[in-house]
C-alpha cells in the first residue's frame, strides 16, 4: 500500500512539475501584466521600474528558476493586484469551493441512490421511465443555461431567492441546486444500470428463494454491486468540482477558486494563477488517493502494489 502511494506520488509529482512549468510559461505568453495594471499613460520609465520591482525583467528561465526556488521554501510569490502573498487569496477562496462541492455531493449521492434504486426496482415501469428521462435531461443540460433559468424563475419572477452572493442559507439553494443536477443525473443512471444487471444474478435469486424481504434484497444485496462504479463516477465529479465550478461560481457570485482563477488569468496576476493551480492540483492528488482507499475498503479483492 505504502509503495503504491509512493509510486503514485512520484507520478503525480512529475505531472505537477510539468503542469506548473506549462502554466508558468504559457501564462507569461498571454501578455505583459504592466499593460493591465499600470495606467494607459504610464511612461516607459514607469514600466521598466514596474518590471524590475516584480522581477519581470529577468529572462523567463531565470524567473522560473527563482519561482521553483521560492516554491520549495513555501514562498508562493506576491499577487500583483492585491499586494499580498499569492497563496492568501487562493486559501481564502478554496474553502468556499470545497464547501460547495461537499454540500452538493452530500445531497446528490443519497438522492441519486434512492432514484436509481427505485427505478431499478421495477425496470420499465412508469416511475422508471420518468426517472430515466429526467436524470438524462439533468446530465445533459448545460449548467449555465439551468443557472440562468433558475435565476430568472426563482429570483426575478418569484423573488424567493437572492440572485447571487453568500451569507444566508438562501444563498446556498440556487448554486447547490444547479450544481447538483448533473451529479444526480449521472449517478442515478449508474446506480440503475448496475442494479438492473445485478437483480438477475443467481445470488439475488437465492435471496428471493430464501424469502428475504424485497427492500433488504434491493438495498443490502443489490445496491452493494453499484458501490464501486458509484464511487468512481462520484470521485470524478468531485474532482471536477474541486477544480472550481467556474460557471456556477461566476453566475452566482460565489467567491470560490474557479472565479478567482478566471479573474487572475484575465488580470494577468501570474502568481495567483500558479497558486490556484498548485492548490487544486495537490488537493485533487489527495482526493484521488482517498478514492483509491475507499475502493480498497469497499472491495477487499482490490490490492494496490
Residues making contact with another protein (CB under 8 A): 11-12, 14-16, 18-19, 22-23, 26-27, 29-31, 124, 133, 136-137, 139-146, 148-149, 151-152, 156, 243-244, 246-247, 250, 258, 261-262, 265-266, 273, 277, 280-281, 284
Query: Measured from the CB of residue 293, what is the shortest distance to another protein in angstroms?
Result: 20
In the complex with another protein, which residue's Cβ is closer, 22 or 68? 22
Query: Measured from the CB of residue 281, what is the shortest distance to another protein in angstroms?
Result: 6
Query: Measured from the CB of residue 284, what is the shortest distance to another protein in angstroms?
Result: 7
Query: Measured from the CB of residue 68, what is the shortest distance to another protein in angstroms?
Result: 17
In the complex with another protein, which residue's Cβ is closer, 48 or 133? 133
In the complex with another protein, which residue's Cβ is closer, 145 or 297? 145
Query: Measured from the CB of residue 63, what is the shortest distance to another protein in angstroms?
Result: 17
What is the rounded CA–CA span in Å between residue 191 and residue 182?
14
What is the rounded CA–CA span in Å between residue 132 and residue 191?
11
In the complex with another protein, which residue's Cβ is closer, 6 or 14? 14
Query: Measured from the CB of residue 11, what is the shortest distance to another protein in angstroms?
Result: 7
Q: Which residues contact 134 (CB under 8 A, 6 or more apart)?
A: 185
In the complex with another protein, which residue's Cβ is closer, 49 or 267? 267
In the complex with another protein, which residue's Cβ is closer, 7 or 53? 7
CA distances from 16 to 1, 11, 62, 279, 291 (A): 22, 9, 20, 11, 19
Q: Which residues pair with 85 in a beta bridge?
A: 78
| CA atoms within a 13 Å half-sphere pointing along the CA-CB vector of 211 | 0
Contact 225, 199 (CB under 8 A): no
DSSP 167: S
Which of 211, 205, 217 has its CA nearest to residue 121? 217
Amino acid at each position: 500500500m505504502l509503495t503504491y502511494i509512493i509510486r503514485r506520488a512520484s507520478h503525480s509529482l512529475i505531472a505537477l512539475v510539468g503542469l506548473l512549468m506549462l502554466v508558468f510559461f504559457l501564462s507569461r505568453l498571454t501578455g505583459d501584466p504592466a499593460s493591465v495594471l499600470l495606467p494607459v499613460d504610464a511612461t516607459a520609465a514607469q514600466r521598466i521600474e514596474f518590471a524590475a520591482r516584480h522581477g519581470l525583467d529577468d529572462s523567463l528561465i531565470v524567473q522560473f528558476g527563482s519561482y521553483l526556488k521560492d516554491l520549495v521554501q513555501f514562498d508562493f510569490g506576491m499577487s500583483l493586484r492585491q499586494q499580498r502573498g499569492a497563496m492568501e487569496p487562493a486559501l481564502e477562496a478554496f474553502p468556499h469551493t470545497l464547501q460547495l462541492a461537499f454540500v452538493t455531493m452530500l445531497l446528490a449521492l443519497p438522492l441519486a441512490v434512492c432514484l436509481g434504486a427505485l427505478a431499478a426496482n421495477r425496470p420499465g415501469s412508469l416511475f422508471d421511465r420518468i426517472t430515466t428521462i429526467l436524470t438524462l435531461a439533468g446530465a445533459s443540460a448545460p449548467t449555465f443555461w439551468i443557472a440562468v433559468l433558475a435565476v430568472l424563475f426563482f429570483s426575478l419572477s418569484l423573488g424567493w431567492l437572492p440572485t447571487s452572493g453568500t451569507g444566508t442559507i438562501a444563498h446556498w439553494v440556487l448554486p447547490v441546486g444547479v450544481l447538483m443536477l448533473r451529479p444526480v443525473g449521472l449517478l442515478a443512471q449508474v446506480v440503475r444500470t448496475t442494479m438492473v444487471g445485478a437483480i438477475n444474478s443467481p445470488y439475488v435469486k437465492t435471496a428471493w428463494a430464501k424469502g428475504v424481504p424485497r427492500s433488504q434484497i434491493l438495498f443490502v444485496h443489490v445496491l452493494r454491486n453499484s458501490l464501486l462504479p458509484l464511487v468512481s463516477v462520484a470521485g470524478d465529479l468531485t474532482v471536477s468540482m474541486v477544480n472550481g465550478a467556474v460557471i456556477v461560481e461566476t453566475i452566482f457570485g460565489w467567491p470560490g477558486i474557479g472565479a478567482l482563477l478566471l479573474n487572475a488569468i484575465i488580470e494577468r496576476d501570474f502568481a495567483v494563477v500558479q497558486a490556484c493551480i498548485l492548490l487544486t492540483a495537490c488537493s485533487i492528488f489527495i482526493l484521488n488517493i482517498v478514492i483509491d482507499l475507499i475502493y480498497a475498503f469497499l472491495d477487499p479483492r482490490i490490492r494496490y502494489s
